[in-house]
């Protein structure tokens, strides 16, 4: 603690600007911790709203009164994003449950969300066909938390629906939706599907392809103080 206080005093006397390395970034608000190049001491700072930084990033800081603020990046970064696509092989993938289940053949992938207050835009594609007429497919995602300061219980999140009148006809459906309840953390994202109406079995074969894309987005000042 004494070293931190002494370094702040020396830094205040020495300069109005410095460079450093981000140690941590608060999941809410504008707080961060940076190790300053000049003295090698990790100290709390503020982060300007237009700067998106994460641990390990090199940053530029200026002093405003007694407060040091990250005002720029020495490099490029951004918010969390992840994408996974599957083109099915020769084996068919069939589902006939009215409850959500993992889509066979789709491997869950990792997604890191940096902030509590941002949203996640999920876009999703399903290709397949039913074995009976008037059958509806509902598809969605499930985020299973692997790490994070705020606990999150995984739930099935519907993203879109596809209703098919004819049996055995390959159909393509693409949807997008906003998820606002996910705290910062590391997640495994799985593809979920169910039959919401009708009696047919939902099938994907070598002619079909599915994908999910997750994009973290700022929400009208959500990254401010």
Asked if residue 53 has pLDDT above 90, the reply is: no
pLDDT of residue 218: 84
Pair 207, 124 in one domain: yes
Pair 104, 34 in one domain: no
- The label of the residue with tokens 């998820």 reads 179
Task: Answer with the residue of higher pLDDT: 189 or 28.
Answer: 189
97 belongs to a structural domain = yes
Tell whether the torsion through CA atoms of 194, 163, 85 and 209 is positive or negative: positive
In Å, what is the CA distance from 39 to each residue of 4, 6, 196, 198? 10, 10, 61, 68
176 belongs to a structural domain = yes
Reported pTM: 0.77
223 belongs to a structural domain = no
Q: What is the DSSP string of 164-217?
A: ESSTT--EEEEEEEEE--PPSEEEEEEEEEEEEESSPPEEE-TT-EEEEEEEEE
- Mean pLDDT, range 97-115, rounded to an integer: 93
- For residue 63, give its domain range: 2-73
pLDDT of residue 182: 96
67 belongs to a structural domain = yes
Structure tokens belonging to residue 99: 């409850």
Q: What is the pLDDT of residues 60-96, one digit of tens each?
A: 999 988 899 999 988 776 788 898 988 887 667 889 8
CB of 171 closer than 8 Å to CB of 127:
yes
Pair 112, 45 in one domain: no
CATH label of the domain that carries residue 29: 2.40.50.140
Q: What is the pLDDT of residues 112-157, one digit of tens each?
A: 998 898 999 999 999 999 999 999 999 999 999 999 989 999 999 9
């Amino acid at each position: 603690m004494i070293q931190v206080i002494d370094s702040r005093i020396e830094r205040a006397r020495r300069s109005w600007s410095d460079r450093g390395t981000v140690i941590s970034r608060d999941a809410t608000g504008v707080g961060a911790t940076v190790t300053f190049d000049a003295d090698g001491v990790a100290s709390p700072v503020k982060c300007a709203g237009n700067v998106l930084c994460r641990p390990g990033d090199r940053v530029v800081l200026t002093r405003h009164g007694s407060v040091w603020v990250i005002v720029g990046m020495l490099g490029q970064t951004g918010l969390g994003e992840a994408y996974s696509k599957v083109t099915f092989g020769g084996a068919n993938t069939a589902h006939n449950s009215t409850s959500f289940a993992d889509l066979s053949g789709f491997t869950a992938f990792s997604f890191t969300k940096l902030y509590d207050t941002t949203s996640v835009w999920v876009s999703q594609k399903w290709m397949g066909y039913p074995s009976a007429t008037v059958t509806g497919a509902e598809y969605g995602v499930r985020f299973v938390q692997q790490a994070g300061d705020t606990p999150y219980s995984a739930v099935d999140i519907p993203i879109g629906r596809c209703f098919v009148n004819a049996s055995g006809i390959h159909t393509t459906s693409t949807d997008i939706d906003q998820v606002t309840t996910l705290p910062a953390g590391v997640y495994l994202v799985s593809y979920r599907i169910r039959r919401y109406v009708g009696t047919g079995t939902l099938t994907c074969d070598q002619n079909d392809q599915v994908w999910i894309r997750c994009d973290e987005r700022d929400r009208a000042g959500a990254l401010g103080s």
